[in-house]
């Protein structure tokens, strides 16, 4: 119960500014060039900076933040997201994203929380987020492997 309160409390303001926070999340994590190339789509990315500010990349940042938002609002019944997350894992398998990358995104999520929350970023809060994100990744990875 305490975990859920920590998560909800910290997400309240962050969740309202999904794109900027999501961008911090993705730009700080050491995107290796191979990963970045998955976001190219039709846009030509000549530099890492171009990629990070391309519309497709920003769209995806929003998508990731919306998944986290959904998990936060379904903390009491995360299993209701199971089908959605299995399917999401499967889609990433199809576009060539490894399950290891899901974990890296989790590390960036924690980093973003740390940057944004400052003093409010405590060990129990970190653990609460880690627990929730691990569940999300576990289901996505199961879908990936199917």
Which residues make up the interface to ligand HEM (CB under 6 A)? Answer: 35, 38-39, 59-60, 63-64, 67, 88, 91-92, 95, 97, 101-102, 105, 136
Of 51 and 88, which has the nearer Cβ to ligand HEM? 88
Question: Whose CA is closest to 130, among 103, 97, 101?
Answer: 103
Closest distance to ligand HEM from the beta carbon of 58 (Å): 10
Of 33 and 118, which has the nearer Cβ to ligand HEM? 33
Q: Which two tokens stand for residue 123?
A: 């060990």
Composition of the chain by helix, strand, coil, percent to 5: 80, 0, 20
Closest distance to ligand HEM from the beta carbon of 128 (Å): 17
Closest distance to ligand HEM from the beta carbon of 64 (Å): 4
Of 77 and 122, which has the nearer Cβ to ligand HEM? 77
What is the chain's alpha carbon radius of gyration, rounded to the nearest angstrom?
Answer: 15
Cα–Cα distance list, 12 to 8, 87, 146 (Å): 6, 27, 34
């Amino acid at each position: 119960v305490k975990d859920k309160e920590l998560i909800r409390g910290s997400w309240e303001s962050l969740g309202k500014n999904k794109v900027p926070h999501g961008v911090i999340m993705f730009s700080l994590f050491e995107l290796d060039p191979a990963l970045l190339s998955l976001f190219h789509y039709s846009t030509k990315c000549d530099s890492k900076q171009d990629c990070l500010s391309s519309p497709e990349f920003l769209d995806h940042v929003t998508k990731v933040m919306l998944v986290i938002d959904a998990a936060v609002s379904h903390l009491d019944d995360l299993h209701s997201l199971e089908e959605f997350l299995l399917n999401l894992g499967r889609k990433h398998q199809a576009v060539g994203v490894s399950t290891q990358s899901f974990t890296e995104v989790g590390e960036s999520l924690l980093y973003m929380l740390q940057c944004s929350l400052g003093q409010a970023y405590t060990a129990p809060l970190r653990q609460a987020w880690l627990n929730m994100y691990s569940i999300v990744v576990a289901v996505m990875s199961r879908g990936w492997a199917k």
